[in-house]
Structure 1
Amino acid sequence: MTMEVLGTLVGAAVQGQIVASAHLMKHCSPHNLSAPPPENTSSAHITLIPDSLSHAKEVYMIAAGVIGGIFLLCTLVMFLGVKEKDDPYAPSTGKPIPFHRGFLLVMRHWPYLTLTAAFLFISVAIQLVQSNFVLFCTYAVDLRDHFQYIVLTILMSAVVSIPLWQWFLGRFGKKTAAFCGITWMMPFIILLVCVPNLAVAYVVAVASGLSVAASLLLPWSMLPDVVDDFRLANPDSRGHEAIFYSFYVFFIKFASGISLGVSTLCLQFAGYNTGACRQPRPVVFTLNLLIGAAPVAFILTGLTILLLYPITEEVRLRNKISLDKLRKQGLRTGSETDDLRGGV
């Protein structure tokens, strides 16, 4: 989890700094940038200079290579630093269950379904904001010269607030922390859409960083509780942890694909013109929706599903006590088996 959070934050910060020069629009005159947005696509002033597009392609390729290197580094650290351990709760005579049976058991486990579905919608919301933020700053609020610093502010706020959320979830519970952390960003992104100026943008960046940290930290903190609950419901199963974590990652990556697809289709239908100094009003309106109303709708849907998540702090503590008893029972059984073998 640590390497995922670190890699995500560092990768986003590095990419923002590298691709910033591609959005400065040096080929656009001040008149084109200060003029009001055109009413429709046909009247948009399009400036497609090969050199500028070639430069944009080059910096994005460099950013992709750097992020790929960060990904490999984080994977290597995880591979070398994490050692597999035997499941202390598994019975000594248990056998690994077949994949298809384990998959069906996991997909029928209600806490896992609610947690995954809730953060699927929340991840779509956050990805919508992240994937459209550069275009929003460039064409909707005229902050193209500041967006990389705003992104850096978001990431710094996220890094600083992770210990805060760790304390908060220990004090008030993980479900409460999830609600508070994710809900926190909704009024601020609406504020940025309604009051688009630089000071508000930095306030929103700090507030959004808190929610980004919560969205990265809390799912990985809640998944082990779901696995423990599954262990109590299926005491004879083994090898199910990989199914839980791998399919959760799959669904979150699926959410990223959904957000990118929705954004691309919406902007295409609105008449987005690559390389234009100014975009038509439908594009500006669409960017406002993709940054404001759409993420709020997805977050509200995710939080509504999260209300159905059954593992409260009381349930978590009860499961922990039950698993401790199960572990001690397994240790006693294993010890008695060894004694019998020794006697023979």
Structure 2
Amino acid sequence: MIQRDQKHRLSVCSKLCFAIGGAPYQITGSALGFFLQIYLLDVAQLDPFYASIILFVGRAWDAVTDPTVGFLVSRSPWTRYGRMLPWIVFSTPLAVLSYFLIWFVPPIEQGKVIWYLIFYCLFQTMQTCFHVPYSALTMFLSSDQKERDSATAYRMTVEVLGTLIGTAIQGQIVGGAIAPCISPPGMNVTEPSLTDLLNVSTSHVTLDHTKNAYMTASGVICGIYILCAIILFSGVKERRELVRPKSEPPMSFIQGLRLVMGHGPYAKLVMGFLFTSLAFMLLEGNFALFCSYTLGFRNNFQNILLVIMISATLMIPFWQWFLTKFGKKTAVYIGTTSVIPFMILLVCLESNLIMTFVVTFAAGVSVAAAFLLPWSMLPDVIDDFQLKNPGSRGHEAIFYSFYVFFTKFASGVSLGISTLSLNFAGYVTNGCSQPDAVHLTLRMLVSAAPIVLILLGLIIFIVYPINEVVRLNNRKELQKLRDSEQDSETDSSDSGNV
């Protein structure tokens, strides 16, 4: 038994290499999530209607590719490097190239929308070919649930750190070259009083400087992406003995959907996190615009975003301790609801930079929980499925890909609707100020709507059946099942030798 425990134990080095592999997804995700909307509107200078189409189609396409890649991964053969790692290696070059071209403004006015649609969708496809296998890799690191949870905690810490890095790189490089705004007719923004009120820069930064800054930031992020992929491939080994042979023929998309959604705990977990994740995505997608225009911190919004991610990074170890001590379901309620008071304070505050920093730092505590909990709870649901369906095997990638599918599709809808709402409210592209209707819309998008979505998600979690008692019992029963299978294989091998 002791030898078996040692066999299942992961080294700190393996956990770190595995965790570093999660950084590219979060670094690029934070840069796109926080900055793509404001980039399309104020730098590429697209009409809000076309920007909403790009954001919606890109995320919807991204959502569709997740289950597709999940099926392909689950059917891919085992190689000398494993089943998941080859996908990660071969997708990286195209992912890096397409990501860089997203932040390039093409010299063709009529073809901008097509340009961004093509490279945004291509990047999302290649990113999916990286992230779905990487997420499923969790199940092939160890059969010990504690070791998987520990590896997940390492991963979430690095991923939040990756979000911090992405926000810092993109924000600080771009923040030094903010696109010059367009003042309303008759307004002279060089007057000191108006400059202070609108918080606009009167430096001689041109739009070309801003475009170059975005490309510089994307180049740095691309380099980090490649480095993380190399470390993951070099430091992590898939355990082939954890691959249980399949007994069923390959399934269609509809069969896979019925399989995963037919498992009650998985359906409830996905629906609950669908609403809570959507809340944080709405906040993320519109926060830069909210800080720039509604709060008036056009030259400081990147620092405000950085404060949120620093707070989230620092709080990941706390939430790992909390869910171990009090249970994952309790952590969901405490962690998610803790952000609501700060969402309310954020929109009620006057334009006070110090108070905004304090409130956003406190809100980062809940952001950490939103990062950690879904990926920590998904393995529990898969274990529950395997225990109740011992003959159905090899579907780990499908469970992960469908979870990402629902989340991304919902985020695409939310980003499209929120950008379209700004269009209806009369958003002025790269304006020094916005109409009152735009300010009201932004307040709704970063406060009222996310709060409603969080409450809906928590209501669903009431009926989520896997509490700590069930989880621990499942862990024991699944270990017994694996031990009996190993004993059977050993007996069969011994009989064959005789």
Answer whether TM exceeds 0.5 for this pair.
Answer: yes
Q: What are the Cα deviations for residues 54-88 of structure 1, in whole angstroms up to 9, with x where unaligned?
A: 33333333333433443343344333333222364
* Separation in structure 1 between the aligned mates of residue 312 and residue 259 of structure 2, nearest angstrom: 35
Superposed displacement of residue 103, structure 1: 4.4
Q: What are the Cα deviations for residues 167-204 of structure 1, in whole angstroms up to 9, with x where unaligned?
A: 00000001111111111111101101001322321122
Q: Which amino acid aligns with 1:2?
A: A
Aligned to 1:287: 442
Contact 1:96 1:239 in 2 (8 A): no
The 1:95–1:82 alpha-carbon spacing in structure 2 relative to 1, beyond 3 Å, is: farther
Q: Which amino acid aligns with 2:276?
A: I
1:122 aligns with 2:139: no
Aligned match for 2:190, one of 29, 34, 44: 29
The 1:131–1:23 alpha-carbon spacing in structure 2 relative to 1, beyond 3 Å, is: farther
Aligned to 1:203: 358
Give runs of aligned pairs for residues 1-344 of structure 1, distance below 5 A: 2-3=19-20, 4=22, 5=159, 6-23=161-178, 25=180, 28-30=189-191, 32-33=194-195, 52-86=206-240, 88=242, 90=244, 94-95=246-247, 97-100=249-252, 101-196=255-350, 197-343=352-498
Query: RMSD value over aligned CA atoms?
Result: 2.6
Q: What are the Cα deviations for residues 110-155 of structure 1, in whole angstroms up to 9, with x where unaligned?
A: 1111212222222221121112112111111122232222222111
> 2:240 is paired with a residue of what secondary structure?
coil
Q: Which amino acid aligns with 1:165?
A: W
Contact 2:179 2:205 in 1 (8 A): no
126-135 vs 185-194, which deviates more? 126-135
> 2:434 is paired with a residue of what secondary structure?
coil
Give the fraction of aligned pairs with identical amino acids, expressed as a percent: 51
* Separation in structure 2 between the aligned mates of residue 185 and residue 311 of structure 1, nearest angstrom: 24
Q: Which amino acid aligns with 1:311?
A: I
* Separation in structure 2 between the aligned mates of residue 214 and residue 237 of structure 1, nearest angstrom: 32
Superposed displacement of residue 312, structure 1: 0.5
126-135 vs 70-79, which deviates more? 70-79
Contact 2:179 2:206 in 1 (8 A): no
> 2:176 is paired with a residue of what secondary structure?
helix
Q: What are the Cα deviations for residues 252-310 of structure 1, in whole angstroms up to 9, with x where unaligned?
A: 33343233212211111100011211111111111111111111112112222222221
The 1:102–1:26 alpha-carbon spacing in structure 2 relative to 1, beyond 3 Å, is: closer
Q: Which amino acid aligns with 1:29?
A: T
Question: Unpaired runs of 5+ in structure 2?
Answer: 1-17, 23-158, 183-188, 199-203
Aligned to 1:41: none
* Separation in structure 1 between the aligned mates of residue 367 and residue 222 of structure 2, nearest angstrom: 22
The 1:107–1:179 alpha-carbon spacing in structure 2 relative to 1, beyond 3 Å, is: same
12-21 vs 207-216, which deviates more? 12-21
Q: What are the Cα deviations for residues 4-38 of structure 1, in whole angstroms up to 9, with x where unaligned?
A: 314333212211212223547477434555669xx
Contact 1:24 1:144 in 2 (8 A): no
TM-score, with length taken from structure 2? 0.61
* Separation in structure 1 between the aligned mates of residue 229 and residue 266 of structure 2, nearest angstrom: 25
Superposed displacement of residue 96, structure 1: 5.5
Contact 1:53 1:275 in 2 (8 A): no
The 1:256–1:203 alpha-carbon spacing in structure 2 relative to 1, beyond 3 Å, is: same
The 1:12–1:251 alpha-carbon spacing in structure 2 relative to 1, beyond 3 Å, is: farther
Q: Which amino acid aligns with 1:297?
A: V
Q: Which amino acid aligns with 1:117?
A: M
Greater relative contact order (Cα < 8 A, sep 6+)? 1
* Separation in structure 2 between the aligned mates of residue 97 and residue 170 of structure 1, nearest angstrom: 38
* Separation in structure 2 between the aligned mates of residue 52 and residue 273 of structure 1, nearest angstrom: 19
Q: What are the Cα deviations for residues 197-236 of structure 1, in whole angstroms up to 9, with x where unaligned?
A: 2232112221121111111111111011011001011101
> 1:144 is paired with a residue of what secondary structure?
coil
Question: Unpaired runs of 5+ in structure 1?
Answer: 37-49
The 1:11–1:96 alpha-carbon spacing in structure 2 relative to 1, beyond 3 Å, is: farther
> 1:311 is paired with a residue of what secondary structure?
coil
Q: Which amino acid aligns with 1:333?
A: S
183-192 vs 257-266, which deviates more? 257-266
> 1:99 is paired with a residue of what secondary structure?
coil
* Separation in structure 2 between the aligned mates of residue 148 and residue 33 of structure 1, nearest angstrom: 19
